[in-house]
C-alpha cells in the first residue's frame, strides 16, 4: 500500500520540475552603429585684390580658358609685363594675349586679359571710369554685368567687346574680337574670364 502511494508522488515531483524549467532566451540582435561620413570642407576660390602675376598661366591658365570657351583657342599665349606709370598712379601691369597665331602680331590675339595695380582704390576706380568714358566718346555702347559680386562695364565697339572693372587697387580688362563668339555668349565669357583673372590659381 505504501509503495503504491510513492509512484504518484514521484511523478508529481518530476512533472513539477519540468513545469518549472525556464524556456531558453532568444539572443538579441546586436545593434549596428551608424557611421557618419566625414564632413568635407570645400573652399571656394574668391576674387582678391592682388598684384599682377608675371606669368599668364597664373592669371588665366589656357586649359581654364578653353573650358570657359568650350573649345581650344589654339595658337600660343604671350605675356607682356608693363612698367609703372607714376603719372597715372599705376604701380604694375600685365597683359596676356591668347590664341596668337604663328608670325602674327599681338594685336591679332582674339582674347586679351590685362591686370594692373594702382596707388590706391580710388585711383583704380577712376582709371576704369576714364577708360569707359573715352570709349563712349568714340561711339561705343556701354552696358553692365556681374563679375562675381562686383559690377563691371561691358563696352561694345565696331571691332571688339571688352569688360572693365576694379577690385580694390587692381583693375581688370578682358577683350575679345568682334565675331569671336556669338553675341549672347560674349558677355558671359568675358565675365567668367575676368573672375578667373582676379582669382588666384590653386596650388600656384
Is this model's pTM higher than 0.85 or not? no
What is the domain partition of the chain in residue ranges?
A: 56-197
- Confidence at residue 26, expressed as pLDDT on a 0 to 100 scale: 55
- Confidence at residue 27, expressed as pLDDT on a 0 to 100 scale: 55
The DSSP bridge partners found for residue 118 are 90
Buried b (16+ CB within 10 A) or exposed e, 150-184: bebbbbbeeebbbbbbbbbbbbbbbbbbeebbeee
Question: Which helix (H) or strand (E) segment is 173 a member of?
Answer: strand 170-177
Note the CATH number of domain 56-197: 3.40.1000
Residues with pLDDT less than 50, the chain: 1-20, 39-43
- Confidence at residue 92, expressed as pLDDT on a 0 to 100 scale: 98
The phi and psi torsions of 95 (rounded to 5 degrees) equal -115, 135
User: What is the C-alpha to C-alpha distance for residues 152 and 133, in angstroms, rounded to an integer?
Assistant: 14
Strand residue runs (E) in 2-106 = 76-82, 90-100
- Confidence at residue 47, expressed as pLDDT on a 0 to 100 scale: 95
- Confidence at residue 17, expressed as pLDDT on a 0 to 100 scale: 45
Amino acid at each position: 500500500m505504501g509503495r503504491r502511494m510513492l509512484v504518484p508522488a514521484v511523478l508529481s515531483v518530476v512533472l513539477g520540475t519540468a513545469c518549472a524549467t525556464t524556456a531558453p532566451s532568444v539572443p538579441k540582435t546586436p545593434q549596428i552603429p551608424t557611421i557618419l561620413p566625414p564632413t568635407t570642407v570645400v573652399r571656394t576660390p574668391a576674387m582678391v585684390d592682388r598684384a599682377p602675376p608675371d606669368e599668364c598661366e597664373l592669371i588665366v591658365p589656357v586649359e581654364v580658358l578653353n573650358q570657359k570657351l568650350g573649345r581650344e583657342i589654339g595658337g600660343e599665349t604671350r605675356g607682356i609685363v608693363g612698367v609703372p606709370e607714376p603719372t597715372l598712379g599705376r604701380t604694375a601691369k600685365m597683359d596676356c594675349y591668347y590664341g596668337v597665331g604663328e608670325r602674327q602680331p599681338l594685336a591679332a590675339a582674339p582674347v586679351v586679359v590685362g591686370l594692373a595695380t594702382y596707388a590706391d582704390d580710388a585711383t583704380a576706380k577712376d582709371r576704369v571710369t576714364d577708360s569707359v568714358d573715352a570709349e563712349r566718346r568714340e561711339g561705343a555702347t556701354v552696358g553692365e554685368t556681374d563679375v562675381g559680386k562686383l559690377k563691371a562695364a561691358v563696352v561694345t565697339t565696331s571691332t571688339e567687346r571688352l569688360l572693365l572693372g576694379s577690385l580694390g587697387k587692381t583693375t581688370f580688362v578682358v577683350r575679345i574680337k568682334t565675331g569671336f563668339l556669338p553675341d549672347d555668349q560674349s558677355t558671359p565669357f568675358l565675365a567668367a574670364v575676368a573672375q578667373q583673372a582676379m582669382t588666384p590659381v590653386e596650388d600656384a
